[in-house]
């Protein structure tokens, strides 16, 4: 019973961070900041839910294979997410997308003046 | 195109086979043999893309423990702090941000270490690696930062100080 409560709490924390990230994606002013906010969903949002699912798989379902699969899912998201995020941001910058309000510090533009 | 070397194939084979065991999770001999054959085929074709130098680097227990310590202790702490910070910004209306791209020097030498650090930075909400450049023997990252408070060395210390220290123990 206690384990169920802890698992539910972890999933709730994950959901709170996922909500924060979603609000950020909608309300942030420029594409780069939006990508930043979306990282919240993919890291702690996902991690909270996965930890909850892991506790559930170990103590309620008592199934080692389900627990390991949860770990593998978390690991795969952690490996693939930064690669995709990096590619999207760099692609957007190279494509010429700039925030409406110019960035105060922009070393990338200074060094690779386009 | 690089050549396929035997240690690289062996290392890739071991990783593939471990992954097979994790996903399949049954220890019948016929499934183990099938997994070994598939892993070997995959390793033969893909080893040259994955491993370019020091194939046995991670089969050293001390390094493995340090790497686990990084991903299970150092990184989650940083992740938690950055996430709380980001969530505060999001819940208070997304107005107190000051985005910018800073250029930060990095001391890690190994390609894999640099890739791991770049991925760790991108995973932390609030910072995101755009590009890696090398000038006069020094490696630089271009990092998009949601709240620019410093530039150059200081920015590097604020963004990746602890992460880099954690990874240095693994790759050096």
A47-105 residue pLDDT tens? 899 999 999 999 888 888 888 888 888 888 888 888 888 898 888 888 888 887 777 77
For residues B41 and B86, what is the distance between their CA atoms, to the nearest angstrom? Answer: 44
User: Number of structural domains, chain A?
Assistant: 1
Query: Is A108 inside any structural domain?
Result: no
Could you say which residues from 111 to 130 on chain B have a Cβ atom under 8 Å away from some Cβ of chain A? Answer: 118-120, 122-130
Q: Is the pTM of this model over 0.95?
A: no
For residues B162 and B75, what is the distance between their CA atoms, to the nearest angstrom? Answer: 9
Query: Is A9 inside any structural domain?
Result: yes
Q: Is residue B171 a contact partner of residue B112, using CB atoms and an 8 Å limit?
A: yes
For residue A65, the model assigns a pLDDT of: 82
ipTM of the complex: 0.83
Q: Is residue B171 a contact partner of residue A61, using CB atoms and an 8 Å limit?
A: no
Query: Is A65 inside any structural domain?
Result: yes
Rounded (10°) angle between helices A46-55 and A64-95: 170
For residue A113, the model assigns a pLDDT of: 64
Nearest residue in A to B94, CA atom: A28
Residue A107: pLDDT over 90: no
Residue B165: pLDDT over 70: yes
**CA B123: distance to chain centroid?**
10
Comparison of pLDDT for A111 and B102, the residue scoring more: B102
Residue A114: pLDDT over 70: no
Q: Is residue A100 a contact partner of residue A28, using CB atoms and an 8 Å limit?
A: no
Q: Is residue B16 a contact partner of residue B55, using CB atoms and an 8 Å limit?
A: no
Residue B35: pLDDT over 60: yes
Query: Is A83 inside any structural domain?
Result: yes
Query: Is A106 inside any structural domain?
Result: no
Structural tokens at position A4: 């169920």
Query: Is A75 inside any structural domain?
Result: yes
Query: Is A110 inside any structural domain?
Result: no
**Which residues of chain A neighbour B79 with C-beta distances below 8 Å?**
43-44, 47
Q: Is A114 helix (H, G, I), strand (E, B) or coil?
A: coil
Query: Is A43 inside any structural domain?
Result: yes
* Structural domain containing residue A20: 2-99
Sheet holding B127-135, edge to edge: B100-106, B138-145, B127-135
Four-point Cα dihedral A70, A75, A81, A86, nearest 10: 180
């Amino acid at each position: 019973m206690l384990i169920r409560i802890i698992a539910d709490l972890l999933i709730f924390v994950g959901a709170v961070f996922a909500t924060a990230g979603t609000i950020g994606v909608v309300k942030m002013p420029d594409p780069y900041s939006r990508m930043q906010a979306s990282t919240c969903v993919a890291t702690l949002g996902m991690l909270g839910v996965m930890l909850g699912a892991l506790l559930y798989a170990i103590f309620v379902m008592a199934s080692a294979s389900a627990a390991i699969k949860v770990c593998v899912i978390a690991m795969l998201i952690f490996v693939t997410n930064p690669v995709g995020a990096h590619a999207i941001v760099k692609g957007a910058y190279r494509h010429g997308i700039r925030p409406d309000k110019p960035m105060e510090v922009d070393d990338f533009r200074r060094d690779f003046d386009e | 195109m690089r050549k396929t070397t035997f240690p690289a194939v062996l290392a890739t084979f071991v990783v593939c086979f471990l992954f097979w065991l994790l996903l399949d999770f049954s220890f019948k001999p016929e499934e183990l043999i099938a997994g070994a054959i598939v892993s070997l085929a995959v390793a033969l074709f893909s080893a040259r893309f994955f491993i370019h130098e020091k194939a046995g680097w991670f089969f050293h227990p001390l390094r493995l423990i340090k790497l686990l310590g990084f991903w299970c202790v150092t990184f989650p702490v940083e992740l938690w702090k950055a996430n709380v910070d980001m969530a505060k910004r999001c819940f208070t209306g997304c107005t107190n941000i000051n985005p910018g791209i800073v250029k930060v020097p990095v001391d890690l030498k190994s390609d894999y270490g640099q890739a791991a650090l770049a991925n760790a930075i991108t995973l932390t909400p609030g910072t995101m690696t755009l590009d890696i450049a090398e000038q006069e023997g020094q490696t630089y990252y271009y990092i998009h930062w949601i709240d620019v408070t410093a530039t150059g060395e200081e920015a590097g210390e604020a963004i990746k100080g602890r992460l880099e220290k954690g990874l240095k123990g693994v790759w050096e």
